[in-house]
Structure 1
Amino acid sequence: MKPIFRTALPALLLASALAGCAHRHPAADPAIATIQLAALNDFHGNLEASSVTYTDVGGVERTVTAGGIATIAGALNAWRKDDPELLLVGAGDLIGASPALSLMWADEPTLAAMNRLGLRVSSVGNHEFDGGRAELLRQQKGGCTSPRPEKACRFDGAWQGAAFQYLAANVFDMVTNKPFLPAYHVETVRGVKVAFIGAVLKDAASSVLASGVAGLQFADEAQSINRVLPELRAQGVNAFVVLIHEGGRTPSPQQKQDCTDLYGPLVDVVKKLDPAIRVVISGHSHKGYLCRVDGRLVTQAEMGGHMLSRVTIDVDRATGRVVGERAANVVLAQGSFPPDAAMDGFLQTVRARSEQALARPVARLAVDTLVRPDDDTIDESALGDLIADSMLYGARAYGAQIAFMNRGGIRTTLKTGAGNVATLGQLQAVLPFGNTIEVVNMTGAQIYAVLEEQFLAGRGVTRGLLQVSDGFTYQWNPSRPEGMRVVDKSVLLHGVQIEKGNTYRVAINHFLLEGGDSFPTFKQVTNVAPTNMRDVDALAEYLISRDRAGKPAGAASDAGRIRRAK
């Protein structure tokens, strides 16, 4: 097993210093313009620092607290001191699926932070469309007319818009057949023109609410990018950087230079790009890498602001073409750069405003406490029942019949205040990850398989069994062999036996959809319908509906949906 270092600041400080040296502006070559970029992707509203585990170039696994807007600003301050013309660029999902600190304000604090950081341009990601096309345009241009009036302009009383430009070369308005957002943005740096061309994965529409992107077409990424090159060349631009919200994966460490083992959908896109495109800055897969694909530089900087990619491009002044490119991924561990005082002050303001809002009462419950049991001998909890029921409630418009919730996603006991009233902050503490709910098709055989996967070797019940919604019941026998522990014919939906050949609509969170907690069968489901509703929002709406109906939710004990056979 590789050693895990919980504190590794000296090594990180040295790595940061070396990365800075590697990117210092070289002695001027009159024939070459050297342009420096800092790139981030998949920030997802992570204004605060958080823990990240990564493998360094020596193969050592390290866990550090990294990111946070004050540290990001501090790093940029240091780099801009060396090169005032350094540009900050993004590769999408700067917002969406964000912590409450940002999401509760329609992600306006994050966009404001990006303005303060001096972000110049970013591709859109699929999560930029979480609120729909109208909301994305509002976030770009400003204003308070929003499909989320309970969040928009609530933080600062107004919203002036993003100072940076979102790009989407492959997203078209089906009525006008024109790009929904600009396809590219041109910057002049050290006297040469550089075009940043943005794109999002062509399957983005399948991961957002269909009504939110109605009338938009998501086209092939490479074709759409290549299509704009003649237009750019006519403007005298011959240096191109692609910002694309599509990703890949690699077994190589995040900081390994020029890896050659990148795989995934991004690779096919890169291979189809015009040969003049030498630099591709990517996102979406939340992986850090510095790879080469057909000789091109392809980068990604993990997620959440834990890391920034420093990209250096050499441009021939005579031709305007890229003649050299290199990059480094810098982990922004706390202490590696002096935090920016002004940005830290902004963060403190966001925290203060958010804490006040998080104290807002949501609804009255039937009991004052619903315990999250840490005892692995307990299969079901009243809190697990409540959350599964709220997921089913939130997914009802999508035809959900059953809901499954992984107990690891339930982080703490729900303790209410006076009069058994739960606050928004208390709900956020129970479900802090902001997982979105997906509704999928599962056969009865797949449901049986998932239940059996709870007991496979290496799992036992150490992570707790899946919590299930009202009407779904089954029995299991711990003395039976693996793969046969679910009692045959005991799996019922409202008292009717689940048939292995039938298909059922099931609500799960996105973590499970990706096979999280070692449930591979969830990755085999079909007809995925994203609700774009976070689990905590579904819980709040469910509690409110029950309270208004005069039947507060919650119980002192579990409902007996999961039983061990004797």
Structure 2
Amino acid sequence: MKKYLSPIAAAALAVLLAGCAHRPPPNTVAINLVGLNDFHGNLEAGKFSSAGGLFGGQRTVQAGGIDTLGAALQAWRKEDPELLLVGSGDLIGASQSMSAMWADEPTIVAMNLLGLRASSVGNHEFDAGRVELLRQQKGGCASPRADKACKFAADYSGARFSYLAANVIDMVTNKPVLPAYRIEQVRGVKIGLIGAVLRDTVGMVLASGVAGLNFADEADSVNRVLPELRKQGVNVFVLLIHQGGHTVEAFDKAECSQLQGPLLDIIKRLDPAIRLVVSGHSHTGYTCRVGERLVTQADMGGRVLTRIQLQVDTTSNTVQQVTARNVVMTPGQYPADPALDAYLAQVRQRSAAALAQPVAKLALSPVTRSLNEHGESALGDLVADSMLVGARHFGAQIAFMNNHGMRQDLAAGAGLPATAGQAQAVLPYNNDLVVMNLTGAQITALLEQQWGGPKHAARGLLQVSEGFSYSWKRNQPDGSRVVPGSVLLNGVPLDNTSSYRVATNAFLAEGGDAYPLFIQGGSRANTGIRDIDALRNYLRMREQIGKPAGSAAPLGRIQSTY
């Protein structure tokens, strides 16, 4: 005989069975992480733009800021006090002026307050060299940036989180210059956080700053440390890597499937036990499935955080499932974190007077980095001119500026002068100007290097100073693009055998951005003049003579034909 259940009893039984169906097995625990990458000293909120996803269409909102991140993390830790905040590099470097002016120490302190546990290094962590990176980690005031270090606070004590780099090897000791990994224990599970940075870092920073370091293959270096971790009882691995990809899918699309870019080759060669890869570098938001792995990135600047969950079988000590979602950090979502609010207010107060100091009026605002069809920008013209004028005392006749070295447009309020902070935002690296002798033939060969190798499309052409011009052909092969006879200085073709005095920044002078020809320059001299000082002085000089700097469009120094 069939037993009859009343509708109420049947409904109750259905709810009970549904709860059992979604409840994880008793030997499974949830490990919650939050991923952050490419923060770049963005202590304050900025603009976040994205199409699709939760935004529906194209939309721009204010997002980020350490106060907003602190509020979100405080709320999420109430849900799970054991939550781990992890990073994948470029937390510092190319930073907002409010961080850069203090040698990025406020950003490190902010990361401490946010409870960051570990981060891979990024290429920008090496902007000021190995010595400065180790100081950022360990604390102290002995710095190559003595004008900035320990100026915000006299007792800078360093990062409480661990910078990780399994593939950055000291050539003398043959050991990683930083720890390869950090072990965390959550709910009885040991988790190995492993760090790596793109092996191309050496071409993105001052060569002298990373002398003696080998940036080894990322996948090989990561795989090599797994046996050591397993000996310590670790079988759950999370890779924090400063290398990334791109996808046409929305930043918040769950388990996107169209990830492309240099990260893919690394992922495919990793030990299968690594089920989660938290990436960076490409400033793109995604949570993509690549085979059995989930690969995440949280855009940049703290505008987005990635909430990640690992389901771990505690019997086999293995990851059973990984899920993640990207969350836009719009202010006001969560109750404020008093500690982060107070710290941001302190940094703002200390920085405001210096950053607000007027420099000079511009002819118009903004002066943009936007490249025209020939590869020239109005801001590139202006910065190259400032370098030429700054180095003229050392005989400079021509100046070259790399496009990626200019991080923001030069903007001032309507009718107001550009400020020290706005100028600093354009040139945050504080590179010295270097002058050298190059022959006309070498300069032409240098121009040809603009189209050589895999990086040329992304880096843009070198920006050139007043009086220098040339033409190039789009339909010619690499190595033969510069139009013969078109390379002119003050209207006169360069003589292949004559020597010319060239100014550039220290990064390019050491062969950075894949321009090795600069290394061949003779009679080299470091002027001791920083690029940012040359820019400020140039802006003041132009205002004083009644010709404020800046143009609405590039000035036609670079031309291209088919």
Is it true that 1:497 corresponds to 2:493 in the alignment? Answer: yes
Is it true that 1:332 corresponds to 2:342 in the alignment? Answer: no
Is it true that 1:108 corresponds to 2:98 in the alignment? Answer: no
SS at match of 2:174: coil
- Write out per-residue CA displacement over residues 187-225 of structure 1, whole angstroms, 9 at most, x where no aligned residue: 110011010000000111110101111111100000000
Could you tell me how far 1:361 is from its partner in structure 2? Answer: 8.4
Count of residue correspondences: 481
**C-alpha distance in structure 2 between counterparts of 1:381 and 1:259, whole Å:** 35
- Write out per-residue CA displacement over residues 136-178 of structure 1, whole angstroms, 9 at most, x where no aligned residue: 1111011111111111111011211100000000011111001
**C-alpha distance in structure 2 between counterparts of 1:556 and 1:338, whole Å:** 51
- Write out per-residue CA displacement over residues 261-312 of structure 1, whole angstroms, 9 at most, x where no aligned residue: 1111100000000011100000000000011112210000000000000110
Could you tell me how far 1:320 is from its partner in structure 2? Answer: 1.2
Q: Which amino acid aligns with 1:251?
A: V
Q: Decide which structure has the larger Cα Rg and report it.
A: 2
**C-alpha distance in structure 1 between counterparts of 2:182 and 2:443, whole Å:** 44
**C-alpha distance in structure 1 between counterparts of 2:69 and 2:491, whole Å:** 55
**C-alpha distance in structure 1 between counterparts of 2:234 and 2:98, whole Å:** 40
2:256–2:287 CA contact under 8 A, matched in 1: yes
Partner of 1:8: none
Could you tell me how far 1:66 is from its partner in structure 2? Answer: 0.2
Q: Which amino acid aligns with 1:412?
A: A
Partner of 2:546: 556
Tell me: CA distance 1:490–1:307, structure 2 relative to 1, closer, same or farther (3 Å).
same
**C-alpha distance in structure 2 between counterparts of 1:544 and 1:70, whole Å:** 35
Partner of 2:301: 304
Partner of 2:232: 235
Could you tell me how far 1:339 is from its partner in structure 2? Answer: 3.1
Partner of 2:159: 162
Q: Which amino acid aligns with 1:33?
A: V
Partner of 1:189: 186
Could you tell me how far 1:353 is from its partner in structure 2? Answer: 0.5
Partner of 1:248: 245
SS at match of 1:300: strand
Partner of 1:99: 96
SS at match of 2:341: helix
**C-alpha distance in structure 1 between counterparts of 2:268 and 2:81, whole Å:** 34
SS at match of 2:240: strand
2:379–2:409 CA contact under 8 A, matched in 1: no
Return the match for 1:389 from 385, 388, 392: 385
Is it true that 1:267 corresponds to 2:264 in the alignment? Answer: yes
SS at match of 1:199: strand
Partner of 2:19: none
The TM-score, its normalising length taken from structure 2, stands at 0.74
Partner of 1:514: none
**C-alpha distance in structure 1 between counterparts of 2:235 and 2:255, whole Å:** 24
Partner of 1:5: none
For 1:136-151, what aligned pairs fall within 5 Å after superposition? 136-151=133-148
Partner of 2:204: 207
Partner of 1:411: 411
Provide the aligned C-alpha RMSD in A. Answer: 4.5
SS at match of 1:318: coil
2:387–2:399 CA contact under 8 A, matched in 1: no
**C-alpha distance in structure 2 between counterparts of 1:555 and 1:563, whole Å:** 23
**C-alpha distance in structure 2 between counterparts of 1:235 and 1:225, whole Å:** 16
Long gaps (5+) in structure 2 = 1-21, 452-461, 472-482, 508-512, 520-525, 558-562
**C-alpha distance in structure 2 between counterparts of 1:236 and 1:341, whole Å:** 38
- Write out per-residue CA displacement over residues 421-446 of structure 1, whole angstroms, 9 at most, x where no aligned residue: xxxx7133246344668999974896
The TM-score, its normalising length taken from structure 1, stands at 0.74
1:386–1:554 CA contact under 8 A, matched in 2: no
2:365–2:414 CA contact under 8 A, matched in 1: no
Partner of 2:363: 371
Tell me: CA distance 1:492–1:214, structure 2 relative to 1, closer, same or farther (3 Å).
same
Partner of 1:39: 35
Tell me: CA distance 1:370–1:144, structure 2 relative to 1, closer, same or farther (3 Å).
same
1:383–1:414 CA contact under 8 A, matched in 2: no
Tell me: CA distance 1:184–1:472, structure 2 relative to 1, closer, same or farther (3 Å).
same
SS at match of 1:309: strand
**C-alpha distance in structure 2 between counterparts of 1:248 and 1:400, whole Å:** 40
**C-alpha distance in structure 1 between counterparts of 2:548 and 2:494, whole Å:** 22
Q: Which amino acid aligns with 1:158?
A: D
- Write out per-residue CA displacement over residues 316-374 of structure 1, whole angstroms, 9 at most, x where no aligned residue: 11121111111000011122233322211111110111113335688xxxxx6442278
Tell me: CA distance 1:49–1:502, structure 2 relative to 1, closer, same or farther (3 Å).
farther
**C-alpha distance in structure 2 between counterparts of 1:488 and 1:193, whole Å:** 64
- Write out per-residue CA displacement over residues 435-481 of structure 1, whole angstroms, 9 at most, x where no aligned residue: 6689999748969x99xxxxxxxxxxxxxxx9852432689xxxxxx
- Write out per-residue CA displacement over residues 377-418 of structure 1, whole angstroms, 9 at most, x where no aligned residue: xx9999986633223467999x9933469898332389999x
Could you tell me how far 1:232 is from its partner in structure 2? Answer: 0.7
**C-alpha distance in structure 2 between counterparts of 1:88 and 1:298, whole Å:** 16
- Write out per-residue CA displacement over residues 242-263 of structure 1, whole angstroms, 9 at most, x where no aligned residue: 0000000111111111111111
**C-alpha distance in structure 2 between counterparts of 1:444 and 1:255, whole Å:** 45
For 1:446-465, what aligned pairs fall within 5 Å after superposition? none
Partner of 1:53: 49
Tell me: CA distance 1:184–1:490, structure 2 relative to 1, closer, same or farther (3 Å).
closer
2:446–2:517 CA contact under 8 A, matched in 1: no
Q: Which amino acid aligns with 2:531?
A: A
Partner of 1:426: 419
**C-alpha distance in structure 2 between counterparts of 1:502 and 1:267, whole Å:** 47
- Write out per-residue CA displacement over residues 69-120 of structure 1, whole angstroms, 9 at most, x where no aligned residue: 0110111011111111111000000000001100111101000000000000
**C-alpha distance in structure 1 between counterparts of 2:214 and 2:492, whole Å:** 43
Long gaps (5+) in structure 1 = 1-25, 363-367, 418-424, 451-465, 476-486, 511-522
Tell me: CA distance 1:529–1:342, structure 2 relative to 1, closer, same or farther (3 Å).
farther
SS at match of 2:425: coil
SS at match of 1:193: strand
**C-alpha distance in structure 2 between counterparts of 1:196 and 1:394, whole Å:** 46
Is it true that 1:323 corresponds to 2:323 in the alignment? Answer: no
**C-alpha distance in structure 1 between counterparts of 2:423 and 2:105, whole Å:** 24
Tell me: CA distance 1:471–1:415, structure 2 relative to 1, closer, same or farther (3 Å).
farther
2:28–2:314 CA contact under 8 A, matched in 1: yes
